[in-house]
Amino acid sequence: MDKLRIRGGRELQGEVPIAGAKNAALPELCAGLLTDEPVTLLNVPGLQDVTTMLQLLRHMGVKAERDEQGRTCIDAGPLNLREAPYELVKTMRASVLALGPLVARFGEATVSLPGGCGIGSRPVDQHIKGLQAMGAEIVVEHGYILAKLPQGQKRLKGARIATDMVTVTGTENLMMAATLAEGETILENAAQEPEIPDLAELLIKMGAKIEGHGSSRIRIQGVEKLHGAQHQVVADRIEAGTFLCAVAATGGDVFLRHARGDHLDAVIEKLVAAGARVQVQTDGIRVRSHGRLKAQSFRTTEYPGFPTDMQAQFMALNVISEGTSTVTETIFENRLMHVHELARLGAQARIQAGGMVAVIEGVPRLSGATVMATDLRASAGLVIAGLVAEGETVVDRIYHLDRGYDRMEAKLAALGADIERVR
């Protein structure tokens, strides 16, 4: 099992390219199921989750290929199997995004329930509720979602759908399904993350009629058929935010090529308050930091609030910043497990409120140790902590990291970090 070995204490300097967003690429790969014509995506990141999604599409009979530059071609014309099996879905919850497109185009789908998740419960009941409102008949049995249209009905029906909670994948699944539905669909309480309007822009290029994407109310006028298109995946705001926190923690001067400052307002606001200098430019973000920063309290919430996917990375900055901070996690119930691993490096933090709040007393230095990644973003937080810790830090179980970061250790090494992958 691969590990990362880090010798901390080096400032980061230079320029780093930010890859395409995982959370945009995965639904956009599934959007290719909506048409029998080729869909080409540019800037698709080289991640384990992307590899898994391509395997799932090929399992269905789809032609799916990605080159080294991130150009990915999807041709669902030869699709001959409308099933997402447990063996593939269990490794990546985003596989459930095949459900809406398959039902919309073919009138049926069999998709495994995703199962458990290390950071907490992520139910798919809102996906099912929305598709049922559009006329699909759905049963859940033997661990699978079985969806089909009623006999004699050729298309889903437009509907007004108000989800009980804000759900990113639920919004994406229902928006894709609605593009081929008969009539108008209105999604209320829709998620507003930047990956949603990016998906909508791809669907519009494919011939969909969508308005309001990026707001809490999305209106979709269904069409009979979608066609092929080419689309560039938006830059990954979480990768960008991770590098922002890394530079703020280690010190240095780095330009994040392609990063979108308008997608990171909440994170940038906290970094500036901490004492980092952040400059949003036309094609990226420049971040500079020198000396010890001031700890910042924050609370995770839905976009445009502070993202839960940046909680662990900013906490790694807080543990070596000056002062006391409180971090409140409101999205996932098990997303503070990295606190115990940070403590192995010398962090002073304690968990309160049933595991949803961490109180952190900043310390002037950390000491290298062996730590274990508990989830994707926790991995990134531990890497940041290792970059500033004295001596050697080994981060174990980095298969989590590979799910969401494209060659993170190579990018950090290019900026001057002493980091290597140990196989």
Q: For residue 367, give Cα distances in angstroms to 164, 320, 364.
A: 45, 11, 10
Closest of 296, 343, 294, 346 to residue 321, by C-alpha: 294
- The residue annotated as part of the active site, out of 30, 73, 117, 245, is 117
Closest of 158, 211, 218, 151 to residue 182, by C-alpha: 158
Q: Give 330's DSSP letter.
A: -
Handedness of CA 106, 108, 114, 120 (dihedral sign): positive
30 carries an active-site annotation: no
Q: For residue 261, give Cα distances in angstroms to 194, 203, 216, 314.
A: 12, 24, 21, 17
User: Counting beta carbons within 10 angstroms of the beta carbon of residue 68, is it exposed (0 to 12), middle (13 to 18) or buried (19 or more)?
Assistant: exposed
Angle between helices 125-133 and 168-178 (to 10 degrees): 20
Q: Rounded CA gap, 356 and 149, in Å?
A: 41
Positions marked catalytic: 117
